[in-house]
Structure 1
């Protein structure tokens, strides 16, 4: 595991396994470019972005990066599953050898933004 807890998102990415870093960089860029006003930081020892509440976050696991977002619903899980991504109730697993589903993730971030603005 990591020797000391990272204090920034960039530090978290840099101290994670090399094969996970590009996926996390893409997710970071997607979140920040979709919601530039979102505040990123480390919460619960993982990168979390907030805007009127929690917007989205990600975490590295042994063989994948987990992208977490409350806006993930059944139709989203089905679509992502059909594309070969494993999903949980509020997470999308992106294996180290998979590309980030950019269009789908961006839609989820926008959907969560609308939910948070209500």
Structure 2
């Protein structure tokens, strides 16, 4: 990635290596379609979407895109790992040659949006 700091999600994608751009663009569209009121921006030098708090973000690694979300449910983690995705405590790694696990990521985003709304109501 170039040394310039992106100010928008689109800029982040545009200055990223070509082999990663399609995957990140698909993630961007998935996030925006799942929670249309989510606001995308750059925080910690990576794309982050906010909806009543941090919703979901993604970052670029050498050979994959990492999706970060607080609500990585155990049943979803197992499903993703069975399909060949590497997961961390709050992350899902999608290699450039893998398809986005749309159903699972959408489920996690919806769950996180509900939790964020509930948390905000309780504050």
Q: TM-score, normalised by structure 2?
A: 0.93
Q: Which residue matches 1:85? A: 85
Q: Which residue matches 2:51? A: 51
Between the aligned partners of 1:93 and 1:33, the Cα distance in structure 2 is: 21
Q: Which residue matches 2:63? A: 63
After TM superposition, where is structure 1 displaced by more than 6 Å over at least 4 residues in a row? none
Q: CA deviation at 1:73?
A: 2.2
Give unpaired runs (5+ residues) of structure 1: none
Rg (Cα) greater in structure = 2
Q: Which residue matches 1:25? A: 25
Secondary structure of 1:67's partner?
strand
Q: CA deviation at 1:77?
A: 1.1
Between the aligned partners of 2:96 and 2:38, the Cα distance in structure 1 is: 26
Q: How far does the alpha carbon of each residue in 1:10-64 deviate from its partner, in whole angstroms, 9 at most, with x for none? A: 0000100111111100110011011111111000000000011000000010000
Contact 2:19 / 2:96 at 8 angstroms: preserved in 1? yes
Q: CA deviation at 1:74?
A: 1.8
Secondary structure of 2:89's partner?
coil
Between the aligned partners of 1:90 and 1:15, the Cα distance in structure 2 is: 25
Secondary structure of 1:57's partner?
strand
Secondary structure of 2:114's partner?
helix
The number of residue pairs the alignment matches comes to: 118
Q: Does 1:34 align with 2:34?
A: yes
Q: TM-score, normalised by structure 1?
A: 0.97
Between the aligned partners of 1:64 and 1:46, the Cα distance in structure 2 is: 14
Give unpaired runs (5+ residues) of structure 2: 119-123
